[in-house]
């Protein structure tokens, strides 16, 4: 998992990079950012490097949940129990050549399966058939968005964009300033030294209401921030959300209010994630 930054340290995208060979890498980028990302990468290729956009040729299916390994193992001879979190292997699944990665966007154990687009429907149908004993179900983007927020995973274009740096959105852990030059490094060195004015925090509402994107965060009558994501958590039966607030309000237990339909609803900052992640780590 990594960040694609511009010269100002702003986030062009958050991406996953898979090292396929010593000199060959696979980049998984956000579908909504394909044109922007590919143009940026092409513009900044070093001498001798080539980049090919395979987006129109590939499909990526996500199988998530505590029974994901059991279901997928029925369709492949690959040793799935040996596949570590954030690792990938080429494999044969239901008569298709694929790349299986142990990761996902739900906070649960599971896999992302990259396959040639022409085989995507057949692979989907094979997975759904294999999962019948576990009552497998497809989920839509709304369900996925709830799951990713409970796990405190970021959504590009909502929780981050080119106006925000990795430090502001909680991606300091992947910003390695001592590993050599990269685009945006100088700006990020300055940002780290100066400190960022706002940071993204997770919060729960203490009274009835649901925080939505762009709702104002208030301290009394003073606006201090903005909600980025919010929903009613089915797991917690409580309204949760994320917001950019000044550093003075970022400690766990800090309080403020979210303006929900002209009503100030009390909120409290909590540690991430909202719901414990259940990813498998060998």
Whether 281 shows a pLDDT value over 80: the answer reads no
Quick one: average pLDDT of 185-208?
97
133 within domain boundaries: no
Q: How far apart are CA 282 and CA 279, in angstroms?
A: 10
228-271 pLDDT, tens per residue? 999 999 999 999 999 999 999 999 999 999 999 999 999 999 99
Residue 99 lies in a domain: no
Return d(Cα 10, Cα 157) in angstroms, integer: 12
Q: Count of domains in the chain?
A: 1
The answer to whether residue 116 sits within a structural domain is no
112 labeled binding residue: yes
- Full residue range of the structural domain in which residue 48 is found: 1-53+165-196
Q: Is the pLDDT of residue 168 over 90?
A: yes
Specify if 171 maps to a domain. Answer: yes
Q: Is the pLDDT of residue 207 over 80?
A: yes
Domain assignment present for residue 77? The answer is no
Q: pTM for this one?
A: 0.93
Contacting residues for 42 by C-beta, under 8 A, at least 6 apart: 51
* Cα separation, 109 vs 186, whole angstroms: 37
Is 81 exposed, middle or buried (CB count within 10 Å of its CB: 0-12, 13-18, 19+)?
exposed
Mean per-residue pLDDT for 88-98? 97
Residues 169, 201: Cα–Cα separation, whole Å? 8
List helix spans (H) across the chain: 34-43, 68-73, 120-130, 141-150, 166-169, 185-194
Residue 143 has pLDDT above 80, yes or no: yes
Token pair 């989907």 is found at 124
The pLDDT value recorded for residue 280 is 82
Residue 208 within any structural domain of the chain: no
97 inside domain? no
Element (H, E) at 115: strand 110-116
71 found inside a domain: no
pLDDT of residue 14: 97
CATH of the domain at 5: 3.30.70.1400
> What is the DSSP secondary structure assignment for residue 160, as one 8-state letter?
B
Give the mean pLDDT of 101-106.
Answer: 96
């Amino acid at each position: 998992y990594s960040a694609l930054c511009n010269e100002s340290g702003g986030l062009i995208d958050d991406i996953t990079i898979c090292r396929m060979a010593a000199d060959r890498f696979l980049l998984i980028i956000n579908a909504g950012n394909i044109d922007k990302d590919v143009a940026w990468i092409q513009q900044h290729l070093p001498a001798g490097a080539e980049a090919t956009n395979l987006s129109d040729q590939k499909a990526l299916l996500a199988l998530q949940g505590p029974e994901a390994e059991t279901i997928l193992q029925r369709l492949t001879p690959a040793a799935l129990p040996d596949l570590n979190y954030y690792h990938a292997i080429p494999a044969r699944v239901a008569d298709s050549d694929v790349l299986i990665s142990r990761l996902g966007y739900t906070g649960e154990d599971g896999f992302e399966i990259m396959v040639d687009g022409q085989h995507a429907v057949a692979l989907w149908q094979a997975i759904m058939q294999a999962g019948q004993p576990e009552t497998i179900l497809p989920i839509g983007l709304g369900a996925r968005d709830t799951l990713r927020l409970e796990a405190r995973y970021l959504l590009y274009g909502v929780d981050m964009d080119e106006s925000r740096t990795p430090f502001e959105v909680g991606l300091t852990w992947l910003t390695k300033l001592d590993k050599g030059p990269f685009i945006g490094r100088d700006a990020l060195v300055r940002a780290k030294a100066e400190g960022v004015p706002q940071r993204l925090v997770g919060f729960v509402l203490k009274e009835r209401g649901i925080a939505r994107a762009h709702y104002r965060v208030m301290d009394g009558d003073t606006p201090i921030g903005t909600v980025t994501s919010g929903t009613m958590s089915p797991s917690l039966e409580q309204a949760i959300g994320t917001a950019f607030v000044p550093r003075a309000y970022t400690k766990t237990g800090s309080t403020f209010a979210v303006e929900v339909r002209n009503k100030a609803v009390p909120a409290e900052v909590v540690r991430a994630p909202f719901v414990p992640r259940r990813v498998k780590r060998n």
